[in-house]
Amino acid sequence: MAVNMQRFVFTQNYTLPAGTVATVVAGEPATGGAAGFGNSATAAGQAGALWPTSYLAGTAIVLDSGTPSALYTALNGAGVIRAYVQGTDDKGGAALAN
């Protein structure tokens, strides 16, 4: 499995509905662990939270676009993220990014 971690930026405020990308498959490394590992709300790396998750415009996020995760697919499909631009997206007086 190729991992291609990239930074993206939200282009607008967006709320991901609860459980939207909660697809955990037992034994699949990309979606969880072995059977009994947990449920869609607790599996590491998944966005299947029990409550909606909100993102603010301008927020940077790191996602795997090489083997697209369910979260990357949902956000990219909604058209709310774009590639992070070094030198543009990291400027600001609050020193929130390096």
Into how many domains does the chain fold? 1
Task: Give the domain range for residue 12.
Answer: 5-83
Q: Compute the distance between CA of residue 36 and CA of residue 5 in angstroms, rounded to an integer.
A: 28
Q: Compute the distance between CA of residue 94 and CA of residue 81 in angstroms, rounded to an integer.
A: 22
* pLDDT for 8: 93
Residue 67: pLDDT band with limits 50, 70, 90 = confident
Could you tell me if residue 21 is inside a domain? yes
Nearest partner of 25 among 48, 50, 2, judged by Cα: 48
Could you tell me if residue 88 is inside a domain? no
Residue 44: pLDDT over 50: no
* pTM over the 0.75 mark: no
Nearest partner of 62 among 78, 84, 86, judged by Cα: 84
| Percent of the chain whose predicted confidence (pLDDT) is above 90 | 23
Say which amino acid occupies 23.
Answer: T
Residue 23: pLDDT over 50: yes
Residue 27: pLDDT over 70: no
Could you tell me if residue 90 is inside a domain? no
Q: Residue 98's beta-bridge partner residues?
A: none
Alpha-carbon torsion angle 40, 12, 98, 92, nearest 10: -150
Mean pLDDT, the chain, integer: 73
